[in-house]
Amino acid sequence: MFDFAEGRSGQHAKAFLDGWSGTLICDDYQGYKALIKDNKITEAACMAHARRKFFELFTANKSHIAQAALGQFNAIYAVEAQLQAMPPDERRLRRQTEIKPLMDKLRQWLLDHKIKVPEGSDTMKAIDYSLKRWDALTTFLDNPHTPIDNNWVENQIRPVAVGRKNWLFAGSLRSGQRNAAIMSLVQSAKLNGLNPLQYLKDVMDRLPTQPYSKIGELLPHNWKSASSSTES
């Protein structure tokens, strides 16, 4: 589900997630902190964000420390890739027996190197990013339904993020909210294996005569095209 807000204030995140409880996979955005402190939401940090700090460091100056860190992150990802098709219980067991030791090794490595690098350096910032969020980075070890990172979701919203830079303006607050609603339908249609254009065209054709009590039938997970409904 997409939402539109006028800014990045934490009050917008709070309003959007009000009443919800579960595991929230996120970066270090401060707007989520108040929600997590309420103990209704469990924080799971994105491993890709932690890895990216070292990747950017290595890309910038071929840092040997960054290269060594990337090797450890890659080893963790290599094991995780083998677990995706497994049943949840088995995935959790394998994460505990195979990935947890790698995570423990990475944490100790980060602690050992933290005392060797200059305070305030980019290397120190990369190390601190992981260490300060360590509990959240390891949430996925205990919950087999929690992914190791948020890459899948970020890939889904990338077209909107790129478009936002090109569009410059939404037109108005109401237009932004409408855009969020439409993108929610488009992405939900994709998740349900539908052709978004075909789905939206059919829904727009049927909306004027669709009874309000049956409006839920037009949602992507319930949708059947008018032709298939007629045939059945």
pLDDT, tens digit, for every residue of 130-157?
A: 999 999 999 999 999 999 999 988 888 7
**Predicted pLDDT at 228:** 61
pLDDT, tens digit, for every residue of 205-219?
A: 999 999 999 999 999
Query: Could you tell me the CA-to-CA distances from 181 to 4, 6, 170 in Å, in that order?
Result: 9, 15, 13
**Predicted pLDDT at 226:** 66
What helix, strand, coil percent values describe the chain, rounded to 5? 65, 5, 30
**At residue 67, does pLDDT exceed 60?**
yes
101-124 burial string, b = 16+ CB within 10 Å, else e? ebbeebbeebeebeeebeeeebbe
Q: Which residue has the higher pLDDT, 23 or 174?
A: 23
Q: How confident is the model at residue 38 (pLDDT cuts 50, 70, 90)?
A: low
Q: How confident is the model at residue 169 (pLDDT cuts 50, 70, 90)?
A: low
